[in-house]
Structure 1
Amino acid sequence: MSSSFDLRVQTTISPHTGHPYHLETYPASSDLNRIIESATQSQKEWMRTTLDDRITKGRKFIEKFTALGNREAPATYDHGPLGYHNLAEELCYQMGRPVDQCWGEFRGFLQRATYMIDIAESCLSDVTFSDNQTGTSRLIQRVPLGVIFVIAPWNYPYLVMINSVLPALIAGNAVILKPSPQTPLTAIRFKEALNDAGFPADLIQVVHLSPPLTQYVVQHKLVNFVVFTGSVTGGKAIETAAVTAEGFKGVGLELGGKDPAYVRADADLKDAVIQLVDGAMYNSGQSCCAVERIYVHESVYDNFVGEYVNEVQKLVLGDPTNKQTTLGPVISIASAEKIRKQVSSAVQMGAKALLPEALYPKAESGTTFVAPQVLVDVNHTMEIMKEETFGPIVGIQKVSSDAEAIELMNDCEYGLTASIWTKSLDDFHTLKDQMQAGTIFLNRSGFFM
């Protein structure tokens, strides 16, 4: 590995202040190799521990993280001290989500951790098959993969980390965890709670890496599996790096979406409006399974659009540390400008924006604050209905039939989640069998917290 990768500083800019919040230094190549080697050695010892012991430590981890969540740590940035931040405030400053909503991620984190620990024994136990006719038996034994490289995103860092890190450790693996440069402290806190619970220090390693260093770890011969959550472009790069590495290794990818919803004529409009506003706007729309396009049957279209706009107008865009704020900034100025460009392009092509920007004076060009927007008179020639937006924007299109809705929902290169809003369970099953999506919800969108 070239020494040109060595010792570079990573700066986390707080989205709502525009100031540096945290600094980390990339490891030197020699240090990174030692980190991977120490994780490998620790895993060889860890895999010999009993599953019961690993599960016990997992439950202890839940206790330690719960206590950690209420602890306040000093927080500083380049303009001076900010005082003390608990985990929710710390997360708010790193990625801009309203602080009260950050607590919801911790609740989901702990619920998922508890569930995965509860099912660990049944998932990891040996399975024996006996054949009475031949007098033979077969055994399926689940063994650890080795060293797992987890590349976590910034939009739901704790939730995504718990999905892969804890199961990997309980199964007997070591984990090298790379957090997003936007949320580096989340991985540090995660490791702290794991170590306090008795997981060996070298078993879970947190590394802050540049893109070239990340590729180096993906291709490292001692890394056995890679987990990545992020953009489609990023996922392709990770997969390419893994495929071209020496030997063979598995890759788990969870990538972007342009998730559709279909509101049928028989839908409960009040419930659909409330849930689809949340599905589109929560976390400022920065969710891989956010609702970004809605198709509504023509018989209920006008009522739905009117109520939807009224519900969106209840959102309060502002400083995410303020408890009254329900919609914070997006992650960066670059992201904000990309979102604004999508909206502007759609309007130039004939779309109508239903929310006056004057309602949101904080949403100025050159800032990370983006006004929520509802677009109608949209169609599939517009990027806003075809490409991921990752912002508090939704397009609503009128349809005349189930067939038209299904055709439009499937007219997209993404296929993460989708939802159908109807009172007919039979019709739901008929329609979902025609859809191209990994997860299809009935009368709900992706549940974030």
Structure 2
Amino acid sequence: MNSLQCISPIDGSVYVERPLATSTQVADAVARSQRAQQDWKSTPLAQRIALTREAISLFSAKETQLAEELCWMMGRPIRYAAGEISGFVERASHMADIAEQALADIHLPVKPGFIRFIRREPLGVVLVIAPWNYPYLTAVNSVVPALLAGNSVLLKHSAQTPLCAERMVEAFAEAGLPAGVFQYLHLSHADTEQLIRAPAVRHVAFTGSEAGGAMVEHAAAGRFINSGLELGGKDPAYVRADADLRHAVETTIDGAFFNSGQSCCAIERIYVHESVYDAFIEQAVALVRHYRLGRPDSAKTTLGPLVRPAAADFVREQVAEAVAKGAKTHIDPADFPLDQPGSAYLAPQVLTGVNHAMRVMTEESFGPVVGIQKVRDDDEAVALMNDSEYGLTAAIFSRDETTALALADRLDTGTVFLNRCDYLDPALAWTGVKNSGRGCTLSTLGYDHLTRPKSFHFKTQL
């Protein structure tokens, strides 16, 4: 196969078709990236920051076009699609704001007769492999700080969202970024593995499935390079007895069903204290019934299709297995006529009577379904939240900040939220534990993974 096709989940049509890069084109791109990086790292940081800000502005100016393309490529309702562009701007701008501080030399206490400091050196060529579900927001986490740090970047996007790679590179080219510093490649899986093995590639930033992360580790084995892996999630929320119930319902349901649940940090399981459980279920079910499943290019749609029919069928199988084991469904798919077997359009679903013997409570769903389980106390909630092979985020809903902080310290996760969920603050480190991956993006710490320390130890008195 010499080309990729983006099949739109809206109607199954071919929305974009692009030729895959040949081995010669890949080799040429790598060589250009290596050459360009040598000059780029010598470009003053202030100039790199100014150019990045111009690229952000040019990218943002195309918001309407970018949102429409996103809607057609991966099915995000058009009423929400522009939010990804504003999120891109927020994250990119913050990383530019903190670049001087994050990349500054580290000066040590004065030692007579010596000059000592540590400089953060760029790694060289950075390969960013981005997924389809949040194609701009996942890519920006690594692309912008990598460029600001003086690296060159090769960007490989999912075959589902090829235009996203093109649009990002276009914005930086329009802003005046030197040729070769930031390039995209449309690649097959096999050619992506080969690129990871290229001697010039010194860091791989991957967002995607566990299987994809394992591929990156296997391909990079023995090369002694860094890799950042943002993988799966089965993120929990705990609603304590003292929570603001209306807020907890609205926030967790949005966290579960936004983007049709296709988010690594979506809320996929909710634990509710027994004293407020019935009220929570009543309000949650009522809210979910207000969703409008439809074509995402319609402004009335609040729930779009999954990325492909197979993804929807996977969720259907999880739900069927849970029901066979005693779970109860609260949403009638007949109320959402577009939900048909074999269709990418899938009705939202709320399940109760669930437990961890069911796949829907332990296996990543990546779809519009959430299981809600009753708990007796904080200890049971924490035990269940930690009973997962994943650890990306976890959310607590409570009015007691002191107790919430104590509970948060007991959770095995990269981020703990209180009274919110499913949001990346670019000032905070974005990281995961267990099978959710390793490494860190965003915040000042994100720059540490895209640079290496170089020590300078000068004796000045002989």
TM-score, with structure 2 as normaliser: 0.90
Partners of 1:264 and 1:63 in 2: CA distance: 43
- 2:79 aligns with 100
Unmatched runs of 5 consecutive residues or more in structure 2: 426-462
Residues 280-323 of structure 1: per-residue CA shift (max 9 Å, x gap): 00000000000000000111000000000011111110000000
Q: Distance in 1 between matches of 2:334 and 2:61?
A: 43
1:81 corresponds to which residue?
Answer: none
Aligned counterparts, 1:215-254, within 5 A: 215-244=193-222, 247-254=223-230
Q: Does 1:129 align with 2:125?
A: no
1:111-260 pair list within 5 angstroms: 111-132=90-111, 134-244=112-222, 247-260=223-236
Separation in 2, partners of 1:400, 1:147: 52
Aligned match for 1:110, one of 86, 89, 93: 89
Asked if the contact 2:153/2:182 (under 8 Å) is kept, the reply is yes
Q: Verify: 1:33 aligned to 2:9, yes or no.
A: no
Counterpart residue identity of residue 150, structure 1: V
Greater Cα offset, 198-207 or 304-313: 198-207
SS of 1:293's partner is: strand
**Equivalent position of 1:394 in the other structure:** 370
Contact in 2 for aligned 1:130/1:137 (Cα 8 Å): no
Bigger shift: 112-121 or 371-380? 112-121
Q: Which structure 2 residues correspond to residues 226-375 of structure 1 after superposition, within 5 A?
A: 226-244=204-222, 247-375=223-351
Q: What is the CA distance between 1:229 and its match in structure 2?
A: 0.3
Partner-residue secondary structure (3-state), 1:267: coil
Which residue is 1:79 aligned to? none
TM-superposed deviation, 1:171:
1.0
Q: Which residue identity is paired with 1:406? A: V
Amino acid across the alignment from 1:435: L
The reply on whether 1:421 has 2:400 as its aligned counterpart is no
Tell me the distance in 2 between the aligned counterparts of 1:408 and 1:65: 42
1:13 pairs with 2:7: yes
CA distance in 2, matches of 1:206, 1:176: 6
CA contact (8 A) 1:130 1:136 kept: no
Which residue among 55, 66, 75 is the counterpart of 2:60?
A: 66
Counterpart CA distance in 1 for 2:274 and 2:150 is: 54
Does residue 56 (structure 1) correspond to residue 35 (structure 2)? The answer is no
- Shift in Å, 1:345: 0.5
Q: 1:75: which partner in 2?
A: none
Q: Which residue of 2 aligns with 1:74?
A: none
What residue in structure 1 maps to residue 67 of structure 2? 88
Aligned counterparts of 1:310 and 1:185: Cα–Cα separation in 2: 38
- Structure number with the bigger relative contact order (C-alpha 8 A, sep ≥ 6) is 2
Q: Which runs of 5+ in 1 are unaligned?
A: 1-6, 71-85
C-alpha separation between the residues in 2 aligned to 1:448 and 1:334? 29
Secondary structure at 1:11 match in 2: strand
> Distance in 1 between the 2:153 and 2:304 partners?
32
Report if aligned partners of 2:126, 2:203 keep a CA contact under 8 Å in 1. Answer: yes
User: What TM-score, normalized to structure 1?
Assistant: 0.93
Shift of 1:143: 1.1
Q: CA deviation at 1:135?
A: 4.5
Letter in 2 for 1:58: T
Contact 2:60 2:86 in 1 (8 A): no
Q: Distance in 2 between matches of 1:142 and 1:57?
A: 20
Q: Match for 2:159: what amino acid?
A: P
Structure 1 letter corresponding to 2:311 = S
Q: How many residues align?
A: 425
* 1:130 positional shift: 2.4
Q: Secondary structure at the match of 1:305?
A: helix
Query: Which AA in structure 2 matches 1:107?
Result: S
Contact 1:68 1:193 in 2 (8 A): no
1:137 CA drift (Å): 3.5
Q: Which runs of 4+ in 1 moved over 3 A?
A: 134-137
Q: Residue deviations 1:258-288, cap 9 Å, x none?
A: 0011111111000000000100000000000
Distance 1:46 1:18 in 2: 42
Note the aligned Cα RMSD (angstroms): 1.2
Q: Distance in 2 between matches of 1:413 and 1:248?
A: 26
Task: State the alpha-carbon separation in 2 of the partners of residues 239 and 168 from structure 1.
Answer: 20
Please give the secondary structure, in 2, of the residue aligned with 1:24.
strand
Kindly provide the amino acid, as one letter, of the partner of residue 213 in structure 2: G
